[in-house]
Structure 1
Amino acid sequence: MSAWGLGRRTAVRAEPVERAPAVAVSQVSKVYPGGVRALDNVSLTVWPGTFVAVMGPSGSGKSTMMHCAAGLDSPTSGSVRIDGREIAGLDETCRTELRRDRVGFVFQAYNLIPSLTLEDNITLPLRLAGRSPDRQWMHALVERVGISGCLGRRPAELSGGQQQRAAVVRALVAKPAVVFADEPTGALDLHSAHQILQLLRGLVEEFHQTVVMVTHDPAAAAWAHHAVVMADGKVIDALEAPTAARLADRLIALGGR
């Protein structure tokens, strides 16, 4: 069992008290119509500059937790803060604005628009918000992920790995407080998946980004600095410097519960 313990907030990396967590989920529950409890009093703190994986078997609540933490869904009770701002009570318009300004998303599906060039796909969310991209920052990201020669091409001309790299840049171009990645390697071959995970880890360490990744894959979660394991809507364990073997053993043990 993790030294962080259960029944307390699960915290990732100690930071100076004057800094706000990138994400702070406190005693969050989510109950759907019919009494289905997807989350049961979940607390999790993610500090800036960390890569956190959230794991668990199907139905564990990991995706619901991410949706509530990212402002895509509202919890039934509890508090959710992104970069110090409470979002649990915001209306949909305000949540949309907060997601646009402070949250990035990377999904299993690349969600690139086929008729647009890669550069236009990357900058589209900013342009829709009436903002101009920081060109220096964007080109630093593009160089770092290795797609600088592809900006004028359309998604169909690129490999899956290249498209996902573009999706990562799109998630980061607005300088969000946190990037949520939902099974970001699920549609990729092993080689491309390895490259994307290496890229996410590198962006965290080199640019002090914050990434929260939901995955069912112990090998993917092992790239994170920390892993949180969920079951039955609760955080049941937290591991520092996780390995694929430890995480796989933990999931096997859950299967026998």
Structure 2
Amino acid sequence: MVLLQDSKQAPPRDVVELTGVTKVHPGGVRALDGVSAGFGPGTFTAVMGPSGSGKSTLLHCAAGLDRPTSGRVVLAGQDIATLREPKLTAVRRAHVGFVFQSFNLVDALSVWDNILLPQQLAGQRPDKKWARELVERVGLAGREKARPGQLSGGQQQRVALARALAGRPAVIFGDEPTGALDLGTGREVLALLRRFVDEVGATFVMVTHDPAAAAWADRVVFLADGRLAGELFAPSAQQVSARMVELTR
């Protein structure tokens, strides 16, 4: 459970902060153009925009999966844009969780072993009590010994979510986390994401093309041509759709 901040204390710093981030791909393609954005603790942010607007590049730079051409990316108090391997890998493993559209589970491992794998790869001692609680929270109690191939797509994404949370990361990045799921199953996964933000204080940043998915977020950040194109707070799916229509005209 998250403790409320004393009202006299300064507001918490953003978990992830991008300042003037530009990313130029080979051939001169400018995927991001001077983007500045922050993602605070205990918040759920959706990132949206037309195809080619820079959504995935923003996520990759913010997560330390890609390096910006210029600008700063501060993650958990460290400027990761300047870090070299293997220090960058160590910071990413300590502070970042990932949930992908394709689940990215290891087929040869059980549910339980998949959940603990990132901590083991990072040389950390897994918190098995927290992992057991996560299994309960995502509704997979009794399926710990199952292999991914024995689970439905929604169940596999629940395993991926528990895996992302197992190391108590500062932030979790999702790249179309419900894109491979049917409507009902996707809604169940989004409800879980929302609960982890509200009840555990998790921080989620999710790239999505789906206005209905974005409506679960506290804030929607829009990109167009590699630049910020506005934001909406506590939006409805209709408001998100209308904004997307404007951006694609």
TM-score with structure 1 setting the length: 0.92
Q: 2:221 aligns with which of 228, 241, 247?
A: 228
Q: 2:140 aligns to what?
A: 147
Q: 2:44 aligns to what?
A: 51
- Taking the aligned partners of 2:247 and 2:18, their CA distance within structure 1 comes to 24
- Taking the aligned partners of 2:51 and 2:120, their CA distance within structure 1 comes to 37
Q: C-alpha displacement at 1:92, in angstroms?
A: 2.5
Q: 2:3 aligns to what?
A: none
Q: 2:90 aligns with which of 70, 85, 97?
A: 97
- Taking the aligned partners of 2:17 and 2:9, their CA distance within structure 1 comes to 15
Q: 1:12 aligns to what?
A: none
Against the structure 1 CA distance between its residues 120 and 229, is the aligned structure 2 distance closer, same or farther, given a 3 Å change threshold?
Answer: same
**Tell me, what secondary structure is at the counterpart of 2:124?**
coil
Aligned-pair Cα RMSD in Å: 1.4
Structure 2 unaligned spans of 5+ = 1-7
- Taking the aligned partners of 1:233 and 1:92, their CA distance within structure 2 comes to 27
Q: C-alpha displacement at 1:199, in angstroms?
A: 0.4
Alignment-mate amino acid for residue 197 of structure 1: L
Moved over 2 A (4+): 15-20
Structure 1 unaligned spans of 5+ = 1-14
How much identity, in percent, do the aligned residues show?
55
- Taking the aligned partners of 2:10 and 2:25, their CA distance within structure 1 comes to 36
Q: 2:183 aligns to what?
A: 190
2:154 counterpart of 1:161: yes
- Taking the aligned partners of 1:37 and 1:186, their CA distance within structure 2 comes to 26
Q: 1:213 aligns to what?
A: 206
Mapping for residues 21-36 of structure 1, pairs under 5 Å: 21-36=14-29
- Taking the aligned partners of 2:201 and 2:65, their CA distance within structure 1 comes to 24
- Taking the aligned partners of 2:121 and 2:227, their CA distance within structure 1 comes to 37
Q: 1:41 aligns with which of 34, 41, 63?
A: 34
Alignment-mate amino acid for residue 43 of structure 2: T
Q: 1:173 aligns with which of 149, 166, 170?
A: 166
Q: 1:137 aligns to what?
A: 130
**Tell me, what secondary structure is at the counterpart of 1:187?**
coil
Aligned residues: 243
